[in-house]
Amino acid sequence: RSEPIEAPEVKSEAAKKVKIGIYFATWWALNVVFNIYNKKVLNAFPYPWLTSTLSLACGSLMMLISWATRIADAPKTDFEFWKTLFPVAVAHTIGHVAATVSMSKVAVSFTHIIKSGEPAFSVLVSRFLLGEAFPSSVYLSLVPIIGGCALAAVTELNFNMVGFMGAMISNLAFVFRNIFSKKGMKGKSVSGMNYYACLSMLSLLILTPFAIAVEGPQMWAAGWQTALSEIGPHFVWWIAAQSVFYHLYNQVSYMSLDEISPLTFSVGNTMKRISVIVSSIIIFHTPVQPVNALGAAIAVLGTFLYSQLLTVETSTNCSKQALEQVDDG
Ligand code: 3PG
């Protein structure tokens, strides 16, 4: 008997799932490597403003070389594009530097536990600043997210206020970055990869003067000597690794954002945090108490619950709109 022939759309649906699966796995793996090297660098050289700037500079340089050598096609942009990109870049810069400052003060796992509360910020910003209402089930799903983060924070053995606030500021900034990015990418011919490249370049221009003002070359030179004498010449490779992997994981995440809904993206982002939290606890031997781990687990599970509820809400709205269109027609 001959095998039944699969419909082409079933095949392309399966191919799309495989492609997204590969994007996600690459994104998480690159992110884990970035987080490990970033923390190794910050432990030896506690200048998060400079390391944040170097990550953006490295990504910008990599993309300029790719465009010049035609490995990637340079995007066609106009003044309007850069104007719309500006608020995204401001939010990206604040979110990036705040997360790096946080990681320079606390364990990587702690920063990411607090960062798993990002959906809660998203709902609150949408509700209070954009006037968007959600069903009460969505608000209720924020209880485990906020409660879990709070439990993890109060039981954190190495709690530090700057570390905590840095992660909170990063959450708020990234919610704005995502809202502005969605608007900026809509209907534009610039690919996810090039959109992120332009974002890095603009963020680099914004961050550089602030990095010089907050830390400055004198501090960097002294810190550099100490790090080199303690770690040895391969410290330079740690810096290179954190910078290259920072750009690569963000580039892959923007490439997947091009293919999936922001909701699927946020589920992927939460799963990414689980890999980072677990691997960094193992690699850095971070002390964890059972109640602390419980708080983290509740927060991460709460984020899943939230994403599921929002998925149901979005698909119900879509079906309602489709029905209304049929009625109208
Ligand atoms: C950064 O340095 O920008 C943060 O580590 C980013 O955090 P996220 O991409 O995991 O939200």
User: Nearest residue CA, atom 2 of ligand 1?
Assistant: 96
C-alpha to C-alpha distance for 64 and 47, rounded to whole angstroms: 26
Helices in the chain by DSSP H: which ranges?
8-44, 48-68, 79-105, 108-115, 118-128, 136-154, 161-185, 192-214, 217-231, 235-257, 262-283, 290-328
Give the number of the atom of ligand 1 that is nearest the alpha carbon of residue 95.
3
C-alpha to C-alpha distance for 296 and 75, rounded to whole angstroms: 41
Give the ipTM: 0.95
pLDDT in tens, the chain (329 residues): 455 566 666 668 788 888 888 988 999 999 999 999 999 999 999 999 999 999 999 999 999 999 999 999 999 999 999 999 999 999 999 999 999 999 999 999 999 999 988 888 888 888 888 888 888 888 888 899 899 989 998 988 889 999 999 999 999 999 888 888 777 766 667 888 999 999 999 999 999 999 999 999 999 999 999 999 999 999 999 999 999 999 999 999 888 877 777 667 777 887 888 889 999 999 999 998 999 999 999 988 888 888 778 777 666 665 555 445 444 44
Residue in 109, 165, 129 with CA at minimum distance from that of residue 287: 109
User: Nearest residue CA, atom 9 of ligand 1?
Assistant: 250
What is the whole-number distance in angstroms between the Cα of residue 130 and the centre of ligand 1? Answer: 24
This prediction's pTM? 0.88
Give the number of the atom of ligand 1 that is nearest the alpha carbon of residue 31.
10
Backbone torsion region of residue 191, taken as left when φ is above 0, otherwise alpha when ψ lies between -120 and 50, otherwise beta: beta
Q: What is the pLDDT of residue 308?
A: 79
User: Which of 101, 115, 121, 275 most suits a substitution to test ligand 1, by most atoms within 8 Å of the C-beta?
Assistant: 115
What is the whole-number distance in angstroms between the Cα of residue 99 and the centre of ligand 1? Answer: 6
C-alpha dist (Å) from residue 319 to 86, 216, 315, 323: 35, 55, 6, 6
Domain ranges for the chain, please list them: 12-315
Kindly state the DSSP code that residue 73 receives in the 8-state scheme.
P
Q: Which amino acid is at 264?
A: T
- 197 burial level (CB within 10 Å; 0-12, 13-18, 19+): buried
Report whether residue 100 contacts ligand 1, using a CB cutoff of 6 Å: yes
Is the CB of residue 94 less than 8 Å from the CB of residue 49?
A: no
Give the number of the atom of ligand 1 that is nearest the alpha carbon of residue 35.
5
Q: What is the pLDDT of residue 1?
A: 46
